[in-house]
């Protein structure tokens, strides 16, 4: 045992079988940690779904589409930047000094942006990190923080690290990224908090978009909040809140609030309860309640306003027979 310990130390191992640089990699979030799973379907495009088309019993549920599209927004917002971090850390770190590992500065071939990733071990299993970028020809004093965050790695009963599990938070600053030569069209910022302690534990993800582009009016900034919860083998739950001027009349410019709370079982069958309120909305609030089956076909719909669409019975909602709205 003594010999084995000496060998591990001499090879810069932090525990037999794990390289020192791998310990720093474990202190970073992965796409799997922050992914919001959805009740099926393909990718959506915007911060909100298109306006309601024709509701119809047996047609694919509108509320299901809203849920699917909204989860895709969060997944899409985090996937690109976490992919970048994973690509950077595929290579050995440039330096490891004490409790700090640095990747870069590095510039990809045919790119004008230089990146530097710094990971710091704050205490056992707890890490902080920042990804900085600058123009290739700029001085090192011009580095700007694009992503910053912290992560605590989960451990099992024996104290062994559980890779790809833990809890943490990070911020993506798209306004700062706009100053770099190579950037996309995103603006504003995104803050994400997540918890995935182990394969059997409930997973939670919260995402707050601030001052981001409206998917339909590129010159307008909006705020949106998302909350996701999933228990293994028991379906999921999702909340979405959007603050935006939803009235198309230019004479009415107050901000309305749209909220959606969706719940679904392991089969994919579920329910969404939607509420619109505030701003120039003429009613105190309006609600839409819809349930869909395992094939995502709408089976129950109830709108609160006079003459609104309605069909089916609440029995079609199964265990989701009671409306539950996003709490303020």
Query: Which pairing describes strands 161-173 and 189-196: parallel, antiparallel, or unpaired?
Result: antiparallel
The mean pLDDT value for 84-102 works out to: 94
User: Predicted confidence band at 256 (pLDDT cuts at 50, 70, 90)?
Assistant: confident
Per residue in 116-150, pLDDT (tens digit) is 999 999 999 999 999 999 999 999 999 999 999 99
> CA 224, CA 208: separation in Å to the nearest integer?
6
Q: Which of 304, 241, 252 is nearest to 279 (CA)?
A: 252
Coil, strand or helix at 249: coil
The average confidence (pLDDT) of the chain is 84
All residues at 6 or more sequence positions from 7 whose CB lies less than 8 Å from its CB, including other chains? 13
Higher-scoring residue by pLDDT: 257, 283: 257
Coil, strand or helix at 301: strand
User: Predicted confidence band at 16 (pLDDT cuts at 50, 70, 90)?
Assistant: very low
pTM, to two decimals: 0.82
Per residue in 271-287, pLDDT (tens digit) is 999 998 887 766 678 89
User: Predicted confidence band at 70 (pLDDT cuts at 50, 70, 90)?
Assistant: confident
> CA 81, CA 262: separation in Å to the nearest integer?
27
Per residue in 219-236, pLDDT (tens digit) is 778 889 999 999 887 889
pLDDT of the residue at 234:
82
Q: DSSP string spanning 158-223? A: TS-EEEEEEEEEEEEEHHHHTTSSS--S--SEEEEEEEE-STTSPEEEEEEEEEEEPSS-TT-EEE
pLDDT of the residue at 39:
77
Listed as own residue / partner, the contacts of 127-136 with beta carbons closer than 8 Å and 24 or more positions apart are 127/24, 127/26, 127/27, 127/28, 127/151, 127/152, 127/153, 129/27, 129/28, 131/81, 131/84, 131/85, 131/88, 133/177, 133/180, 134/180, 135/180, 135/181, 136/107, 136/111, 136/112, 136/181
pLDDT of the residue at 53:
45
The mean pLDDT value for 199-204 works out to: 91
């Amino acid at each position: 045992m003594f010999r084995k310990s000496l060998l591990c130390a001499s090879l810069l191992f932090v525990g037999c079988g794990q390289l020192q640089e791998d310990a720093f990699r474990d202190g970073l979030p992965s796409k799997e940690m922050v992914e919001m799973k959805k009740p099926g379907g393909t990718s959506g495009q915007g911060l909100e779904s298109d306006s309601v088309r024709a509701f119809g019993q047996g047609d694919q549920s509108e509320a299901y589409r809203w849920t699917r599209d909204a989860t895709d927004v969060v997944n899409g917002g985090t996937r690109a930047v976490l992919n970048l971090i994973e690509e950077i850390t595929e290579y050995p770190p440039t330096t490891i000094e004490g409790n700090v590992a640095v990747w870069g500065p590095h510039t990809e071939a045919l790119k004008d942006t230089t990146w530097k990733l710094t990971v710091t071990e704050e205490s056992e299993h707890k890490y902080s990190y920042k990804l900085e970028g600058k123009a290739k020809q700029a001085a090192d004093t011009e580095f700007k923080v694009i992503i910053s965050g912290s992560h605590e790695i989960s451990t099992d009963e024996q104290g062994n690290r559980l890779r790809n599990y833990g809890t943490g938070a990070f911020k993506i600053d798209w306004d700062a990224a706009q100053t770099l030569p190579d950037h996309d069209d995103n603006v504003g910022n995104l803050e994400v908090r997540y918890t995935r302690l182990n394969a059997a534990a409930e997973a939670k993800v919260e995402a707050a978009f601030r001052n981001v582009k409206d998917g339909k009016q590129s010159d307008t900034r909006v705020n949106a909040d998302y909350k996701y919860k999933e228990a293994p083998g028991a379906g999921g739950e999702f909340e979405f809140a959007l603050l935006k001027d939803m009235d198309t009349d230019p004479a009415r410019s107050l901000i309305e609030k749209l909220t959606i709370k969706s719940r679904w079982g392991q089969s994919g069958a579920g329910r969404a309860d939607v509420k619109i309120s505030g701003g120039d909305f003429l009613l105190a609030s309006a609600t839409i309640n819809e349930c869909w089956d395992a094939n995502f076909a709408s089976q129950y719909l109830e709108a609160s306003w006079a003459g609104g669409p309605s069909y089916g019975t609440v029995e079609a909602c199964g265990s989701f027979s009671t409306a539950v709205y996003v709490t303020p």
